[in-house]
A and B are shown apart, each in its own frame.
Chain A
């Protein structure tokens, strides 16, 4: 158990809909990262938050957004869903300091039908 909790584990929704994925980081970790794992694109970094503020942005579509709340949990919002958005979405968290590593949650599997 990595200590990172993601909910829900599975999500099935229709095209055009909006969903919210939730992540609770390890206790004390200020950084939260979101990654997308799909068959055609592999594992891609989407966005990072640090202590409530956006720190870095990767290949995140404009239809997607995220935020980190004062209690440090994070949500990834996906809207106007398309079939190609079906993927496994991972959240990871890390603490500050040089020798830190990212701990990954078990992921949310999103299926768009």
Chain B
């Protein structure tokens, strides 16, 4: 079984400032890692994913994340945020088997302030 911990439930940040949303996971097997974004009253949209290879993953909207196996972390970063980045962000893992269901963290509400 896997578990995901998102260390910050709310992150306020000023526009054009950098941001890091933290995610740690626990698993007895190798996993795939994902970040999803949920805008108000909408579904989940994939930001980026780590399956294998380079530990630095680039996603949409200028976001990137770094997989750190020794620290079992997958933190999400953006060098300069915009008001439109205000949303809830979810870190998730899945195993490498055929089912691939996602285990989600509790989410981080990112609020970008003018």
Seen from chain A, the residues whose Cβ lies within 8 Å of a Cβ on chain B are 2, 4, 31, 33, 35, 42-45, 48, 50, 55-56, 58, 90, 92, 94, 98-107
Can you add 11 more A-B contacts, CB < 8 Å, to A45-B103, A104-B44? Answer: A2-B43, A35-B102, A42-B104, A45-B102, A50-B98, A90-B44, A94-B100, A100-B100, A101-B46, A103-B46, A104-B43
Give Cα distance in the complex from A64 to B82, angstroms.
41
Could you list 11 examples of A-B contacts with CB < 8 Å? A33-B101, A42-B104, A42-B105, A45-B103, A48-B101, A55-B99, A90-B43, A101-B46, A102-B102, A104-B45, A107-B43
Q: How far is the CB of A81 from chain B (nearest CB, A)?
A: 22
Closest to B101 in A: A45
Tell me which of B44, B46, B51, B101 contacts A99 (CB under 8 A): B51
Is the contact region of chain B dominated by helix, strand, or loop, or is it mixed?
A: loop
How large, as a class, is the contact surface on chain B? 20 to 34
Give Cα distance in the complex from A58 to B104, angstroms.
13
Shortest 10 CB-CB contacts between residues of A and residues of B: A56-B99, A43-B104, A104-B44, A104-B43, A106-B43, A45-B101, A42-B106, A101-B46, A55-B99, A56-B101
